[in-house]
Amino acid sequence: MSGPRVLAIESSCDETGVAVVVGGRRIEANQVASQVALHAVTGGIVPEVAARQQLRWIVPTLEAAFQQSGVGWEDLDAVAVTHGPGLIGSLLVGVNVAKALAVTHDLPLVGVNHIEGHIYANWLTGAAETPLPAEPPFPLVCLVVSGGHTQLVLMQDHGRYTLLGQTVDDAAGEAFDKVGRLLGLPYPGGPAISAAAVGATPATRFPRARTAGPYDFSFSGLKTAVLRAVEGYRARNEPIPIDGIAAAFEEAVVDALATKTLAAARDHGVAAVALGGGVAANAALRHSLGQRLRAEGLPLLVPPPALCTDNGAMIGAAAGFRFAAGDRADAALEAVPNLALPWLVP
Ligand SMILES: Nc1ncnc2c1ncn2[C@@H]1O[C@H](COP(=O)(O)OP(=O)(O)OP(=O)(O)O)[C@@H](O)[C@H]1O
Ligand SMILES: [Mg+2]
């Protein structure tokens, strides 16, 4: 396949990702060093610990990516890196390594927004997949659901984003993690709740939040409702039906996400709906949203679970399209913890 071959680095949070991606689509290597086991001990991410682990793993992960792809520096057209949003210490590791590599190997540098990466995971395909699958069609609505974000994004073309709505409090992944902790499940809560909920009958029906904006979300009330339910069982000296509460919580989150996403897709006459971010790995969400969209004749695009959570390949995908559009960064590229996408005015 043709197109620029990009070395992409992701270090915004607690995963060290390095990938080689061609033409913004084809993955030649994708290596991820995860800190999940380490943060499970503290039940969450300690930013300084995450940054030190990024330093520890960046070089071995780079070496593993080169080994997997079999390419050398002379085969690369650019170096790309996530420069925000994320944790400052973690971001600084990737940004500075990428800058140093670009300068020392005389390669152009491309700065990528992490959320744009989550969206572009939908463009990725494996090294051996032939013919190349069709690209996602425009316009599309993407539901970005991750540890720090829950946003409904209308994408009219490459790099053209309108923010339709977002969470007014907790992100969906954050809610999964907090409720997981509340139920005594291991960190991270998302996969643990999802596993507990499989085959379980919901113990109750948690209320769905009302929001002012038609495409906004709110999950903090749901989290409090779970807490009250757990306290109720404790006060009555009854065993807590962990699996049933997990199922009821997951059902409420999935219902809210699917309902608003469907409304956004209908109202904007899109050609497809896409999912991105760690919570997009959730099987119940993929199933429920897929089913509801099918009834409307709309396709749901979902990256494989390993490309939903943080990885370098998604950064390489976004960078491929940015590079083709002439986007270049230089040694002044900064790590920006609260970096936003360049939203178009609706
Ligand atoms: N199967 C699953 N079901 C529900 N949630 C999941 C699942 N797998 C992962 N998650 C959640 O995804 C989140 C991690 O996603 P991701 O790595 O994209 O977040 P992040 O990079 O920390 O945040 P952001 O992308 O907003 O900066 C966690 O909150 C985790 O619980
Ligand atoms: Mg992420």
User: Which pLDDT value is given to residue 292?
Assistant: 98
In 23-178, where do the E strands start and end? 26-34, 78-84, 109-113, 140-145, 150-157, 160-166
User: Which pLDDT value is given to residue 1?
Assistant: 62
Cβ–ligand 1 distance for 178 under 6 Å, the answer no
Give every CB contact of residue 128 below 8 A, 6+ residues apart in sequence.
none
Whether the Cβ atoms of residue 261 and residue 150 lie closer than 8 Å to each other: no
User: Which pLDDT value is given to residue 128?
Assistant: 85
Architecture of domain 140-301: 2-Layer Sandwich (3.30)
Which of 113, 114, 118, 176 maximizes ligand 1 atoms within 8 Å of its Cβ, making it the mutation to test the pocket?
A: 176
Ligand nearest to the CA of 87: 1
Residue extents of the structural domains in the chain: 5-124+307-324, 140-301
What phi and psi values does residue 257 have, to the nearest 5 degrees? -65, -45
Which class does domain 5-124+307-324 fall in?
Answer: alpha beta
> How remote is the CA of residue 238 from the centroid of ligand 1, in Å?
32
Q: How confident is the model over 187-220, as pLDDT tens digits?
A: 999 999 999 999 999 999 999 999 999 999 999 9
Residues of the chain with pLDDT under 50: none
> How remote is the CA of residue 253 from the centroid of ligand 1, in Å?
14
Ligand nearest to the CA of 285: 1
Q: How far apart are CA 145 and CA 49, in angstroms?
A: 24
Q: How confident is the model over 240-261, as pLDDT tens digits?
A: 999 999 999 999 999 999 999 9
Neighbours of 77 (CB within 10 A): 15
Sheet holding 150-157, edge to edge: 160-166, 150-157, 140-145, 272-276, 300-301
User: Which pLDDT value is given to residue 43?
Assistant: 87
Cβ–ligand 1 distance for 282 under 6 Å, the answer yes
Output the pTM of the full model: 0.97
Q: In sequence order, what are the beta bridge partners of 20?
A: 7, 29
Neighbours of 45 (CB within 10 A): 20
